[in-house]
């Protein structure tokens, strides 16, 4: 399912935007009023955000139903008296179809690479406007057109060239994903899905848009921390050195300073030197209490101490995924909170560094798989130029993605994962 958000001055305008882009089959999931903030809020009107969804097959069918056939384009060319097919783009950047221009793909791969490198502006325009008849060209495999192609050798040549160009486009997109360290199995899966749904599509911006939407769909909706009626306990688990403590401080600062939430810390990280002092330093800055749990029994005592707080963040020790004993200790801590579900809600976030090798990430995830229902936080985005591991781990584990961090600054350098930006980066665009 494709899920997108639309903003406008009124609910009606936002819904119209959703229907215009996704089609009449789109379903409105949520309507939210966005309050203006800052000193200029008195001079600005509140806006409305609508979240709409559409089945992916409906999106693809919507694109294909709006595309003229090859025969239609031939009639248009003959009636206009122009022997050269045109790509009318209006205000959008012109995208010349390689097959239509009969270029040698082998000698012009750099041109296609350049189109992929400028993916950001291309896809922004593609996603913000409906596909039009004038900028789309597709060959429908109907009996009548097949018969025409048999009689017309030039027609068969154009069909072959278009199909060949389509394959080359997909091949280059696949290479971009693999270059960004998307696992080849997942890149194959994505390209295979697109190839099946756009069998004879020769318009590169439509192909790119389809791949872009497919990646966003696979990344899914992020999970974020939401407060409820009961105190919420958040466990941060993961290997050593991935930045759990700093991430906890950033999340605590957000809830404490922006949402005025009553936040408390519990640390069970008594293995690492100065770990407790580090958390104490952060806690003193934002004025939050800290307790240390040396055992599962002491975890109960800490929960009793903070039962009147809204959010309790638990900094666990950086467990080696190879240590069975340490993993058992972690399970016991979590089970103590789980046994008090009438008093507390809890969530678990597996914190990983995006710079870790994919094979090691798989090994880590497998060691934590018996701990159910965790979401993934990725840290150190500022230390790498390849973010394919984020998509890899989402598809390997099936766990939702949540937050990303890109530096040491507290409370900054953290945000909810931007799945659209990540999809563009994985395809060689600019976030």
Report the distance separating Cα 270 and Cα 404, nearest Å. 26
pLDDT of residue 43: 54
pLDDT of residue 47: 84
CATH of residue 336's domain is 3.40.50.300
Sign of the dihedral through C-alpha 299, 294, 291, 399: negative
Residues 299 and 323 in one domain: yes
Report the distance separating Cα 26 and Cα 65, nearest Å. 16
Residue 100 tokens read as 């239509």
Residue 193 lies in a domain: yes
Examine the fold and report which residue of 39, 54, 69 is the final residue of a domain before the chain moves on. Answer: 54
Judged by DSSP in three states, 382 sits in helix
Residue 386 lies in a domain: yes
Judged by DSSP in three states, 423 sits in helix
Residue 1 tokens read as 């399912």
pLDDT of residue 141: 42
Residues 333 and 257 in one domain: yes
Residues 22 and 71 in one domain: no
Residues 104 and 41 in one domain: no
Residue 42 tokens read as 């008195």
Cβ-Cβ contacts under 8 Å for 424 (sequence gap 6 or more): 119, 120, 123, 212, 430, 431
Residue 225 lies in a domain: no
Which residues of the chain are modeled with pLDDT < 70?
1, 29, 36-44, 55-165, 198-203, 270-275, 319-325, 430-431
Cβ atoms of residues 239 and 319 within 8 Å: yes
Quote the distance between the C-alpha of residue 317 and its chain's center.
Answer: 29
pLDDT of residue 359: 94
Residue 227 lies in a domain: no
Q: What is the pTM of this model?
A: 0.64
pLDDT of residue 21: 82
Sign of the dihedral through C-alpha 84, 89, 91, 95: negative
Residues 169 and 276 in one domain: no
pLDDT of residue 346: 95
Cβ-Cβ contacts under 8 Å for 122 (sequence gap 6 or more): 92, 93, 95, 115, 205, 208, 429
Residues 215 and 263 in one domain: no
pLDDT of residue 274: 59
pLDDT of residue 14: 85
Which residues sit opposite 379 in a β-bridge? 353
User: How many CB atoms are closer than 10 A to CB 307?
Assistant: 14
Quote the distance between the C-alpha of residue 228 and its chain's center.
Answer: 26
pLDDT of residue 364: 92
Domain that holds residue 33: 2-54
Cβ atoms of residues 232 and 211 within 8 Å: no
Cβ-Cβ contacts under 8 Å for 222 (sequence gap 6 or more): 375, 400, 401, 402, 403, 416, 417, 419
Cβ atoms of residues 312 and 303 within 8 Å: yes
Residues 12 and 111 in one domain: no
Residues 252 and 376 in one domain: yes
- Say if strands 345-353 and 374-379 run parallel, antiparallel, or are unpaired: parallel
Residue 224 lies in a domain: no
Residues 196 and 240 in one domain: no
Domains: count for the chain: 3
pLDDT of residue 149: 47
Strands (E), 295-373: 311-315, 345-353
pLDDT of residue 294: 81
Examine the fold and report which residue of 176, 195, 219 is the final residue of a domain before the chain moves on. Answer: 219
Residue 417 tokens read as 């994962």
Report the distance separating Cα 181 and Cα 431, nearest Å. 17
Residue 161 lies in a domain: yes
Residue 226 lies in a domain: no
Residues 49 and 74 in one domain: no
Residues 248 and 369 in one domain: yes
Residues 160 and 274 in one domain: no
Residue 402 lies in a domain: yes
């Amino acid at each position: 399912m494709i899920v997108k958000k639309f903003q406008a001055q009124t609910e009606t305008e936002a819904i119209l935007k959703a229907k215009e882009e996704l089609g009449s089959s789109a379903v409105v999931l949520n309507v939210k009023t966005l309050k203006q903030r800052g000193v200029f809020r008195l001079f600005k009107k509140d806006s409305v955000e609508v979240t709409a969804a559409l089945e992916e097959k409906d999106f693809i069918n919507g694109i294909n139903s709006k595309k003229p056939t090859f025969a239609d384009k031939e009639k248009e060319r003959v009636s206009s008296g122009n022997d050269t097919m045109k790509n009318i783009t209006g205000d959008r950047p012109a995208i010349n179809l390689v097959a239509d221009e009969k270029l040698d793909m082998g000698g012009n791969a750099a041109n296609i690479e350049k189109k992929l490198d400028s993916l950001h502006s291309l896809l922004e325009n593609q996603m913000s406007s409906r596909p039009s008849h004038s900028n789309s060209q597709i060959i429908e495999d109907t009996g009548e057109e097949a018969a025409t192609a048999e009689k017309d050798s030039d027609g068969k040549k154009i069909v072959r060239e278009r199909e060949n160009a389509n394959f080359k486009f997909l091949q280059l997109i696949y290479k971009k994903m693999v270059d960004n360290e998307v696992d080849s199995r997942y890149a194959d899966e994505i390209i295979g899905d697109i190839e099946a749904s756009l069998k004879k599509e020769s318009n590169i911006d439509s192909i790119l848009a389809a791949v872009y939407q497919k990646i966003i769909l696979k990344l899914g909706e992020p999970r974020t921390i939401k407060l409820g009626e009961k105190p919420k306990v958040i466990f941060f688990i993961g290997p050593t050195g991935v930045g759990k403590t700093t991430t906890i401080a950033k999340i605590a600062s957000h809830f404490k300073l922006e949402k005025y939430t009553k936040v408390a810390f519990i640390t069970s990280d008594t293995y690492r030197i100065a770990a407790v002092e580090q958390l104490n330093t952060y806690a003193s800055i934002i004025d939050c209490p800290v307790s240390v749990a040396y055992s599962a029994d002491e975890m109960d005592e800490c929960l009793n101490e903070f039962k009147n707080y809204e959010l309790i963040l638990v900094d666990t020790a950086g467990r080696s995924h190879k240590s069975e004993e340490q993993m058992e200790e972690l399970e016991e801590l979590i089970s103590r909170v789980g046994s008090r579900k009438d008093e507390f809600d809890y969530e678990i976030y597996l914190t990983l560094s995006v710079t870790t090798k994919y094979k090691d990430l798989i090994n880590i995830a497998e060691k934590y798989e018996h701990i159910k229902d965790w979401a993934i936080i990725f840290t150190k985005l500022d230390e790498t130029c390849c973010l394919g591991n984020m998509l890899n781990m989402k598809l390997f584990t099936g766990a939702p993605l949540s937050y990303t961090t890109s530096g040491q600054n507290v409370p900054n350098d953290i945000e909810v994962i931007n799945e659209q930006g990540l999809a563009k980066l994985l395809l060689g665009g600019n976030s």
